[in-house]
Amino acid sequence: MKTFSWQTPEYAYKEKTSDWYWTVGIIAAALVVVSIIFGNALFGGVIAIAAFSLALFSSRKPPVVSVEVSDKGVKVGKILYPYPSLDSFGIDEERLGGPKLFLKSKKVVMPLVAVPIAHPDIAELREFLSERLSEETFEQTLMQAIFERLGF
């Protein structure tokens, strides 16, 4: 039974400067003021809470998770994705934050799972997965490109 395992941060972390936080605060404050002017204070409160949560989340360093690819499926942290619950996989070696493994799930709630790859032999990993799933090329969406550019 062949198994691939590695430890990786849950997502690529990019250090934020104080300018980034000031920008988020100024944009959020402007949106709160505009929503209050238009008589929607509740929406302004939601924006303020969202901006605060965004600032807290973006300052947090990602936890390190264990990834295991075996005959049972792909296990990321404590979550196992068995092969029958997956449609296909894709490996993007040229991604900005390093190579990533994409798993296309049959579930409606979480259709695409992205896992950073820290395994030295990506070709062997690709061959192992292609025996169990079909390989597919996943194009980066506009929102993903924007979020990566902003540091998420």
Report CA Rg, the chain.
19
pLDDT tens string 52-77: 999 998 888 888 999 999 999 999 99
**pTM of structure:** 0.72
Q: In which residue are the tokens 């979480």 written?
A: 110
- How confident is the model at residue 96, as a pLDDT? 64
Residue with tokens 């950073």: 116
Question: Which tokens sit at 78?
Answer: 């404590």
Specify the DSSP element, H or E, that contains 138: none
CATH architecture, domain defined by 4-10+63-150: Roll (2.30)
Q: Give me the residue spans of the domains in the chain.
A: 4-10+63-150, 18-59
Q: What is the pLDDT of residue 141?
A: 72
